[in-house]
Amino acid sequence: MKIYLRTLGCPKNQVDSELLLGLLDRDGHALTERPEEADCLIVNTCAFIDRAKEESVEAILELSRLKTEGRARYLVVSGCLSQRYGAELQAELPEVDAFLGTGDLDRVVEVIRQIDGRRDWVAGAPPGYVYSAETPRILSTGAPYAYVKIAEGCDMGCRFCIIPFMRGPHRSRPLRDIVTEVEGLAQRGIQEVVLVSQDTLAYGRELKGNGDFADLLLALSETSVPWLRFLYVHPAHVNERFLGAFARARVLPYLDMPIQHAADDILKAMRRQVTAKRMAEIIREVRQRIPDVTVRTTVLVGYPGETDAHVAALTEFMEEMRFDRLGVFAYSREEGTPAAERPDQIPDEVKAGRVQLVEATQERISWDAQRKLLGSAQTVLVDGPAQDAAYPWEGRLPSQAPEIDGVVYLTTSTLVPGRFASVRIVEADGHDLIGEAVR
C-alpha cells in the first residue's frame, strides 16, 4: 500500500511521525510525499491548544476530500487529537477509518493490515509507549538535524496544560539506548541532535541506576555528533548537578527554559513551583558559567486572573533578564484542566493586546542582540535551500535552534547543505541574519 503522512505540532510529534514511517516501511509499504498518489492517508495531529486543534481538524477534512474525490481509500488519524477525543471523533468523522492515540503508535502496522471495513480502532490505551533505538525510523525533513526524545509524558501538573492527559506520566528511556540512537544518527550523517521531552530535567529519576540528565549530557558528549542541543528545561528542576554538567559537557551553549510568567502569584496559580527570583538566579548563574550562552524562553499571557500589573511585572523581568530569544502565547482554555474552571477568564481581545505588548518588548531586546553580531565571523550549519528565494541557502548559528529561532540567509551559492561553513554577518533584523562565506 502507498502511504502519505502529514505531521502537525511539535518536534516530539515529528519524532512520532518518523517512527510511524519507519514501522510502515519495514512492513513493506511504499511511502510518498504526494497525498494524491497515496492509497492511505495519515494525519499525525496536535491538540495542545485551540489553534492546534483547529489546524488538525482542517487537515483531516482536507485529506478526507482526497479520499472522496481521488485515489485514496483510507484515512487514519493519529496523535494527540485522537488520544484526547478518540470516541467523539469516531462519531463526528465517519470518513476516518482508524484512530491511533499516543499510546497506540506501535500498533500502526496492525491497524493498516486490518483496516478494510473496520472502524473500531479508537484511541483507548493509556499513554505508555516509549520507543527505543531499535525502532525503525525514517528521517523525513531532509535536514542535517534530528530530534531525539529522551522521555515521554509529564508529572508536573501545570494547571493550564493538557499534556499529561494526552501523553501520560513521565517515562524515561534508558541512558544507553539514547546514546546508541544519537551515535547511530551521527553515523547517518546527522550534524545536530536536539534532545526533546515534555520535562527534560525530570529525565532518569524513575529508572533505578540509570543516571539523571546530567549523566546523560556527559555520556552524549562522548558521541561523534558535532552539535548537541537540548530543549524544555523546567526552572523548578534546575540544580547544581545540571548546571555543572551543562558547563562541562560538549553541548551547544544554548538554554531553553520556559518561564511562562514572572509574577509570583500567577506562577503560583499556574502551579509552576518556582519564583521569579529563583528564575533570575538561574539565568545569572548560567551566564556566569557559560559567558557565550544563548537563553531562550517561552511565556504565557492571559492566564485567568492576570492583571495589567502582572503583565508589567513580566515585561520588567524581560527587560532585566534580556532574553536572547522569547516566544509568547495567549492562554488557551483547555477543557479538563483546573485553569479552565476558573471564573476569572480573560477576554480574547485583552489577551491579544498583551501578546502584542510582550512581542514589542522582546523585539527591542532581540534587535540589540542581533545588532551586536554585525561584522562578526560565525560558524553556521547549512540546513538547505533558503525559504526566501533571494538567497541560495539558509543555515543556523549555535544560538539558533531549528524551526523555533531565526535563520542565517546565506548569499554564497557554493556552500554545501549538511556541512559547516564560516560566514560573516552582513545584515540583521530582530529575527533573521544574512551572512556571506568567509573566503
For residue 284, give the C-alpha cell: 545569572
Same domain? For 367 and 387 the reply is no
Please report the DSSP string for 52-101 in residue order.
HHHHHHHHHHHHHHHHHHSS--EEEEEEHHHHHHHHHHHHH-TT--EEE-
pLDDT in tens, 338-387: 999 999 999 999 999 999 999 999 999 998 888 889 999 999 999 999 99
pTM of the model: 0.93
Sequence-ordered list of residues with C-beta below 8 angstroms from that of 218, at least 6 positions apart, any chain: 245, 248, 249
**Alpha-carbon Rg for the chain in angstroms:** 22
Give the pLDDT band (50/70/90) at residue 113. confident
Average pLDDT over residues 94-120: 81
Residues 297, 420: one domain?
Answer: no
Q: Coil, strand, or helix at residue 423?
A: strand
Within a domain: 237:
yes
In a domain, 399, yes or no: yes
Helix or strand holding residue 167 (H, E): helix 163-167
Residue 115, pLDDT above cutoff 90: no
Q: Compute CA distances 107 → 37, 110, 125, whole Å.
A: 24, 5, 11
| Over residues 301-313, mean pLDDT | 98
Q: What number of other Cβ atoms are within 10 A of residue 53's Cβ?
A: 20
Q: How many angstroms separate the Cα of 258 from the Cα of each of 7, 108, 124, 255, 324?
A: 24, 33, 31, 10, 13
Of 371, 386, 410, the position where a domain reaches its end is 371
**Residue 47's pLDDT is what?**
80
**Residue 68 and residue 47: Cα distance in Å, rounded?**
25
Last residue in a domain, options 319, 340, 371? 371
Q: Is residue 118 part of a domain?
A: no
* Percent above pLDDT 70 for the chain: 97
Per-residue pLDDT tens for 79-103?
Answer: 888 888 877 888 888 888 888 888 7
Q: What angle do CA 175, 248, 282 make, to 5 degrees?
A: 95
- Identify whether 121 is part of a domain: no
DSSP string, 310-364: HHHHHHHHHHHH--SEEEEEE----TTSGGGG-S-PPPHHHHHHHHHHHHHHHHH
Higher pLDDT pick, 99 / 276? 276
* Residue 55 pLDDT exceeds 90: no
The reply to whether 94 and 167 lie within a common domain is no
**Nearest one of 263, 295, 257 to 276, comparing CA atoms:** 263
The number of domains in the chain is 3
Evaluate whether 54 touches 47 at the Cβ level (below 8 Å): no
Secondary structure (3-state) at 269: helix
pLDDT at 163: 84
What integer pLDDT is reported at residue 105 of this predicted model? 84
Do 209 and 260 belong to one domain?
A: yes
How many CB atoms within 10 Å of residue 427?
14
318: burial class by Cβ within 10 Å (0-12, 13-18, 19+)? buried
Is residue 322 a part of any domain in this protein?
Answer: yes
Is the residue at 124 inside a domain? no
Q: Is residue 288 in a domain? A: yes
- 281-293 confidence digits (pLDDT tens): 999 999 999 999 9
Angle formed by the axes of helices 276-289 and 308-321, to 10°?
A: 10
pLDDT confidence band for 269 (50 / 70 / 90): very high
Q: Are residues 308 and 333 in the same domain?
A: yes
Q: What is the mean pLDDT of residues 45-71?
A: 84
Chain-centre distance of CA 129, in angstroms?
18
Average pLDDT, the chain: 92
Determine the pLDDT at residue 80: 85
DSSP assignment of 209-267 equals TT--HHHHHHHHTTS--SEEEE----GGG--HHHHHHHHHSSS-SEEE---B---HHHH
Could you tell me the CATH number of the domain that includes residue 212?
3.80.30.20
Average pLDDT estimate for 107-114: 86
* Residue 257's pLDDT band (cuts 50, 70, 90): very high
Going by their DSSP bridges, the two strands 40-45 and 30-31 should be labelled as unpaired
Q: Tell whether 95 and 160 lie within a shared domain.
A: no
For the stretch 199-251, pLDDT in tens is 999 999 999 999 999 999 999 999 999 999 999 999 999 999 999 999 999 99
Q: Are residues 275 and 165 in the same domain?
A: yes
The confidence band for 120, taking pLDDT boundaries of 50, 70 and 90, is low
Greatest distance between any 2 Cα atoms in the chain? 63
Clarify whether residues 294 and 406 are in a common domain: no
Residue 318: is its pLDDT beyond 80? Answer: yes
For residue 422, give the CATH number of its domain.
2.40.50.140
The neighbouring-strand residues paired with 227 are 192
- Domain residue limits at 85: 2-113
Beta-carbon contacts of 384 under 8 Å, excluding residues fewer than 6 positions away, are 142, 143, 144, 393, 394, 417, 418
Give 124's pLDDT tier (boundaries 50, 70, 90). Answer: low
123 pLDDT more than 80: no
Q: Considering only residues 333 and 53, tell me which one the structure prediction assigns the higher pLDDT.
A: 333
Q: For residue range 66-82, what is the model confidence (pLDDT) as tens digits?
A: 888 888 899 999 888 88
Q: Are residues 365 and 395 in the same domain?
A: no
Considering the domain architecture, whether residues 172 and 292 belong to the same structural domain is answered as yes
Count Cβ atoms below 10 Å from residue 134 Cβ, excluding itself. Answer: 10
Tens of pLDDT along 174-188?
Answer: 999 999 999 999 999
Shared domain check, 231 and 159: yes
Q: How far apart are CA 191 and CA 225, in angstroms?
A: 6
Which domain CATH number covers 57? 3.40.50.12160
Q: Say yes or no: 393 and 407 in one domain.
A: yes
Is residue 64 in some structural domain? yes
| Residue ending a domain, choose from 91, 113, 135 | 113
49 pLDDT more than 80: no
Q: Does residue 126 have a pLDDT over 80?
A: no
